Amino acid sequence: FIIFVSVTEASRCSITGIPLVRNISELPQDSYGRPGLSHITVAGAALHGMKEIEVWLQTFAPGSHTPIHRHSCEEVFVVLKGSGTAYLASDSVHRYPGKPQELHIFSNSTFRIPVNDAHQIWNTNEHEDLQLLVVISRPPAKIFIYEDWFMPHTAARLKYPYYWDEECLLEESIKDEL
Amino acid sequence: FIIFVSVTEASRCSITGIPLVRNISELPQDSYGRPGLSHITVAGAALHGMKEIEVWLQTFAPGSHTPIHRHSCEEVFVVLKGSGTAYLASDSVHRYPGKPQELHIFSNSTFRIPVNDAHQIWNTNEHEDLQLLVVISRPPAKIFIYEDWFMPHTAARLKYPYYWDEECLLEESIKDEL
Ligand SMILES: [Zn+2]
Ligand SMILES: [Zn+2]
């Protein structure tokens, strides 16, 4: 049984044995504890050995959203399905993000997040899932999370490294210890 | 007339005035002299001030293809429509790429190019366009182009910097000189 489990884990996490061309609809998806989210790592640091970019496919059920957060890596979104709202606080003059701009995002639109600007993506369309292709630079992301738009920048909670597929890294560490 | 032209150019190339959310179907597309290609820079260094990633939407008519080339930046593809073949020479033992692997690529599949491996994407489906979302790291790309799979690595022709939207950079240089 132990052998069987480790073989399964290897095919989930290890970069050896993952075919070069993969069917996205057969890739593992998970909510990672966020209600309404389906996240698929299309190309990732932990899973596929990416060093400079990660690509994710994320689907948000109506009403679901990301946390309010900021990061110094670049981020580009392509909306594949549905519509929603991107909230963006571009004013960095204050001690806190402040009331954000509301940007309508829609199928076949693209937008990028200016580096270090606090932002939040929200599926505000109650009738349809919002599906996004997300690209970030320099994995793993170093993310600062805000409780609300008026929390001081200095109080935002750091999550680093931000790996979706953390279990794969943990496994690597365990292997290193053996 | 001169003022009108520069206003048009500014909205095509300058990062000021480009809205944060853009409709991809309204973005400029061009073949850049490659028969059968439609290229759209979704997020780019020259056009949008990207420093760490670029995102392109490329459509290949049946029979059309990229040159055989290699680069040290990371590259990830997501196939949005159609099917085709990715040729990949992963053997770097020889002085030349050699006969490549043929990988079938299809709608909703993803693949990445191992850094520095020579590769070529070909729409080998004669009935349908092949549409790809392409992500590269560290723009501008430094690309080495091969005439065929048996050309020595050292003879591959360097194209650097590889900007699709070169006209925008030229315009910048002209501005700098003024
Ligand atoms: Zn973000
Ligand atoms: Zn390439």
Read off the tokens for B92. Answer: 């770097």
Ligand number nearest to the C-alpha of B132? 2
Predicted confidence (pLDDT) per residue in A49-72, tens digit: 999 999 999 999 999 999 999 999
First to last CA, chain B: 19
Predicted confidence (pLDDT) per residue in A63-108, tens digit: 999 999 999 999 999 999 999 999 999 866 789 999 999 999 999 9
Residue from A98, A101, A105 nearest A146 by CA = A98
Touching check for B128 and chain A: CB below 8 Å? no
Cα A163 to averaged position of ligand 2 atoms, centre (Å):
26
Q: What is the mean pLDDT of each run of 10 residues along chain B (178 residues)?
A: 40 65 96 95 92 97 97 97 96 86 98 96 98 96 95 94 75 50
Of B21, B24, B52, which has the smallest distance from its Cβ to A137's Cβ? B52
How far A45 CA sits from the closest chain B CA (Å)? 12
* pLDDT at residue B172 in the model: 53
Residue B5 CB neighbour total at 10 angstroms: 9
The complex's ipTM?
0.88
Residue type, A65: H
Q: ω before A35 within 30° of 0 (cis)?
A: no
For residue A1, is pLDDT > 60?
Answer: no
Task: Give, as residue ranges, everything with CB less than 5 Å from ion ligand 2.
Answer: B 75
Contact A103, A86 (CB under 8 A): yes
Contact B106, B79 (CB under 8 A): yes
What confidence tier does A165 reach under pLDDT thresholds 50, 70, 90?
confident
CB contact under 8 Å between B74 and A55, yes or no, is: no
